[in-house]
Amino acid sequence: MNLATRLGLVVIVIGAFSGTIAVLNDGKKAAAQGSNKVRWESSKQCQECHPALYDEWYGSHHQIAFTNPEVRLLSDDFRKEECMDCHLPRPLAVTGFGKRTLPRRTHFNDGVSCITCHLAADGGILGRNHRPEVPCQPQASAQFSIASACASCHNQHGTTDQFLASHFAKQGNNCATCHMPEIERVRKDGSKRMGRKHVWDGCHNKESLQSAGKFEVTVEAGELVLSLSNVGAGHNFPTEERHRAVDMMYRFVTNEGGENKTSQWHRAYRFRQPYRDEQEPINEGNEPGENTQLTAGATKAVRIKIPAGAASAEARLWYRLTPFIGDDSPQSTLLYEQRVNLK
């Protein structure tokens, strides 16, 4: 029996089992009895009292971490079991904040679940504030809401270290400042309070990607200058996975004998951390293996000689989820486009 089949069976068994637990331990009933003994084990248990928040999380990359087709493909349907550590993790507080999480074998559709982040070591619930009067009785934890909580899974490629070295961290921000912005929530009685959006937009969201970089195209002393500044990513841009890439591209329109001719697109610069076995440098002038990601706050400008007869230039900034693809691929996102007249 292969792992996938075995997991399938486990899903069925656990499914039946957790149904029983849900009846025995219905969150609301137990909470109403003032009992501390609710066994929190699935995100579903939080849905009834936190419906809007549940809907945000549902469909997020945290929720799909175990079901995501991209991940299933690369992990050989999780036959590479080490991939489960972060894609189907046990609670952070149980393993220890900042430590690498351990894999679980239950609730496959929950991926990185409410329980992963919010379960306390004693089986209670962690939050920002101590709220014994609230049905789920959250306990205040300073550890769970800071960058080190995200680091358990998000430092494999240095994202957390990049953030900690940035001016964003020095100004007192954390990962949630950008990835879990404040949002208004409505209580059951209609009154309002502030909460935190549980969607974690990142590189799969165009607006979020656009907020990372400021792209400028100017003409200086006969040269076309393309420049990108990392103004909005609290870490390198791009970050994490080595297959993410950001490309600055340009082309010229020349006028020959009254006829416009458009050149091919050329790549002025690629921002990326290369794979370990890559021999070719990312850009001309880089060392093989050199990481060309743009650090937080940094600017990279590239100057290109303008060819004789050029009437205008076009420039584009692309984000690519994986490096060796073209502009037509759905995995390429056009972030910015600019045209400058040269005459």
Report the candidate in 311, 313, 342, 163 with the shortest Cα–Cα distance to residue 226. 313
Q: Which CB sits closer to ligand HEC, 185 or 303?
A: 185
Report the candidate in 147, 108, 143, 152 with the shortest Cα–Cα distance to residue 13. 108
Q: Nearest distance from residue 337's CB to ligand HEC, in Å? A: 18
64 contacts 111 by C-beta, under 8 angstroms? yes
Q: Which CB sits closer to ligand HEC, 214 or 251?
A: 214
Q: Which CB sits closer to ligand HEC, 112 or 310?
A: 112
Q: Nearest distance from residue 132's CB to ligand HEC, in Å? A: 11
Report the candidate in 107, 110, 113, 108 with the shortest Cα–Cα distance to residue 125. 113
CA-to-CA distance for 246 and 166, rounded, in angstroms?
Answer: 20
CB pairs under 8 A, 24+ apart, for 331-334?
A: 333/206, 333/209
Write out the binding residues for ligand HEC, residues 76-135 only, by CB under 6 A.
80, 82-83, 85-87, 89, 92, 100-101, 112-114, 116-118, 125, 127-129, 131, 134-135
Structure tokens at 158: 């240095």
Selected from 25, 75, 263, 291, the binder of ligand HEC by CB under 6 A is 75
Selected from 14, 93, 120, 153, the binder of ligand HEC by CB under 6 A is 153
Report the candidate in 174, 232, 208, 159 with the shortest Cα–Cα distance to residue 60. 208
Q: Residues 230-249: x/- map of binding to ligand HEC (CB under 6 A)?
A: --xxxx-xxxxx--x-----
Write out the binding residues for ligand HEC, residues 27-56 only, by CB under 6 A.
27-28, 31, 40, 43, 45-46, 48-50, 53-54
Write out the binding residues for ligand HEC, residues 312-331 only, by CB under 6 A.
321
